[in-house]
A and B are shown apart, each in its own frame.
Chain A
Amino acid sequence: DGGITQSPKYLFRKEGQNVTLSCEQNLNHDAMYWYRQDPGQGLRLIYYSQIVNDFQKGDIAEGYSVSREKKESFPLTVTSAQKNPTAFYLCASSMRGSTGELFFGEGSRLTVL
């Protein structure tokens, strides 16, 4: 079955540590996205990529980094520069030209201790 796989589902991190969240899709979608979800707020876009080896900052990119070396993969690194990293992180993908019809992964919940 086609879909998006995020890992790990739960992750704990000490302050000052970087952590990388994995996102893999087998839908053959060109575009991939990372969103952050916090209680009482709408989903906020961190980074997106429309094509391999290219990506753009979203609304809240500070303290995060990404790479897009393969069409199927779009990992997100939460760096120690991110001031409030505890959140639910969602990876999504879409077909070219259908940027509102997103397919989401199951999410990764990051807790900073």
Chain B
Amino acid sequence: EDQVTQSPEALRLQEGESSSLNCSYTVSGLRGLFWYRQDPGKGPEFLFTLYSAGEEKEKERLKATLTKKESFLHITAPKPEDSATYLCAVQANTDKLIFGTGTRLQVFP
């Protein structure tokens, strides 16, 4: 069965304290892995697409990486405005998009 698991469920960081969020997956034929950011009470905002193992994408303090079994979202020197829930989604070869339950990140000044 296709599955996406995100960890940890919640993460509290001090401003400037770098860390990583994990998205592990088991799908039949990966077509793409997607990261989203969601602020409370709002819709998700698309961040990155990764297609193959070894690929990396960067945007400001965020860097997403992909292996054959998991993806990491690295946050370097986070700021309070990075606080949000980060969602991972995987597209299998059936075209179906499977979302993880997200990691809620809180960054304190």
Measuring CB to CB, which residues of chain A are less than 8 angstroms from any residue of chain B?
4, 6, 40-45, 90, 92, 99-107, 109
Contacts and interface: CB of A to CB of B under 8 A. Distances in A.
Contact of B49 (A92, A100, A107): A100
A6 B46 CA distance: 18
Contact of B101 (A42, A102, A107): A42
Given A40-B101, A45-B97, A99-B91, A90 B46 contact: no
Contacts of A106: 42-43
Instruction: Name A's interface SS.
Output: loop
Interface of B: 4, 31-32, 34, 36, 41-46, 49, 87, 89, 91, 95-102
A100 B97 contact: yes
Nearest to A58: B96
Instruction: Name B's interface SS.
Output: strand
Contact of B46 (A99, A103, A105, A107): A103
B87 A43 contact: yes
A44 B101 CA distance: 10
B43 A100 contact: no
A55 B73 CA distance: 34
Given A43-B99, A99-B97, A100-B31, 7 more contacts: A42-B98, A42-B99, A90-B44, A99-B95, A100-B49, A100-B91, A101-B34
Nearest to B6: A42
Nearest to B39: A106
A106 B45 CA distance: 10
A81 to B, nearest CB: 24
